[in-house]
């Protein structure tokens, strides 16, 4: 998203509307979830496993961290819902974990990576602050170092008003009611520049990021015709 972020800091001619090209089967998308990717590192003290007092086991403490994150996930699901999404709650996925180097050695360091997918109206920074506060409690309790870092800056959730003229015109052009997706795009950055934004394009997300990624050729002509109609309507 570096290019989209850069646009926010440079004065350029502003458009009224923007289409973010993503594989949506040519269905206009007016909402998507945000995403943040985080890493938590627990640094303890290694030692021989025959005497636990010789070290401070980072894996033991990571167990507490994971338990806390799972509870936090449940809390988010009870506090935030949006009926416009198939998965109508925010999600937190524990993606990968690395720690220790030998079964007879106290684990000196353990790392966990996870992602957060937020709903419109939620703030990634606020969620990170909530997580940091809980991590500090666990660290103090266990006399251990716990650090969190963001793997990238993240993308906030996006929502374009359903009664936007742009949304309604695209619904008319495509014959599809505007919907939502769970993946993130550059849309919130363009919307922050004052544009009406819709995510739309040929192809399906089901085929994305696969070894045989493809776009159904039957969707190409309708995509071209839709873009031509948009240019004619807004630019000519």
Give the CATH class of 34-150. Answer: alpha beta
- Per-residue pLDDT tens over the stretch 142-164: 999 999 999 999 999 999 999 99
Q: Is 85 exposed, middle or buried (0-12, 13-18, 19+ CB in 10 A)?
A: buried
| C-alpha angle 112-114-117 in degrees, rounded to nearest 5 | 165
The answer on pLDDT for 2 being more than 90 is no
The answer on pLDDT for 76 being more than 90 is yes
Q: What are the C-alpha distances in Å from 183 to residues 22, 119, 137, 205?
A: 10, 11, 32, 9
Q: Where in the chain is the domain with CATH 3.40.630.10?
A: 2-32+158-235
Q: Where in the chain is the domain with CATH 3.30.70.360?
A: 34-150
User: In this structure, are residues 91 and 117 in contact, taking their beta carbons and an 8 Å threshold?
Assistant: yes
The answer on pLDDT for 77 being more than 90 is yes
CATH code at 2-32+158-235: 3.40.630.10
Q: What are the C-alpha distances in Å from 80 to residues 77, 119, 210?
A: 6, 8, 32
- Average pLDDT score over the chain: 95
């Amino acid at each position: 998203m570096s290019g989209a972020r850069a646009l926010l800091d440079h004065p350029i001619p502003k458009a009224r509307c923007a289409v973010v090209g993503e594989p949506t089967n040519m269905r206009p998308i007016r909402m998507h979830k945000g995403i943040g990717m985080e890493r938590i590192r627990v640094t303890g003290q290694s030692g021989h496993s025959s005497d636990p007092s010789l070290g401070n086991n980072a894996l033991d403490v990571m167990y507490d961290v994971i338990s806390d994150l799972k509870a936090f996930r449940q809390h988010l699901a009870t506090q935030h819902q949006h009926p416009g999404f198939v998965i109508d709650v925010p999600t937190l996925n524990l993606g990968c974990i690395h720690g220790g180097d030998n079964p007879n050695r106290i684990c000196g360091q353990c790392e966990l990576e996870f992602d957060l997918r937020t709903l419109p109206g939620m703030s990634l920074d606020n969620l990170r602050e909530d997580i940091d506060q809980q991590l500090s409690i666990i660290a103090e309790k266990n006399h251990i170092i716990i650090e969190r870092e963001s793997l990238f800056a993240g993308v906030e959730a996006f929502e374009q008003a359903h009664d936007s003229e742009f949304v309604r015109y695209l619904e008319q052009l495509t014959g599809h009611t505007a919907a939502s997706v769970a993946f993130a795009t550059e849309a919130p950055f363009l919307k922050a520049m004052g544009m009406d934004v819709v995510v739309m394009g040929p192809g399906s997300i089901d085929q994305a990021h696969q070894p045989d990624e493809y776009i159904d050729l039957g969707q190409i002509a309708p995509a071209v015709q839709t873009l031509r109609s948009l240019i004619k309507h807004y630019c000519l």
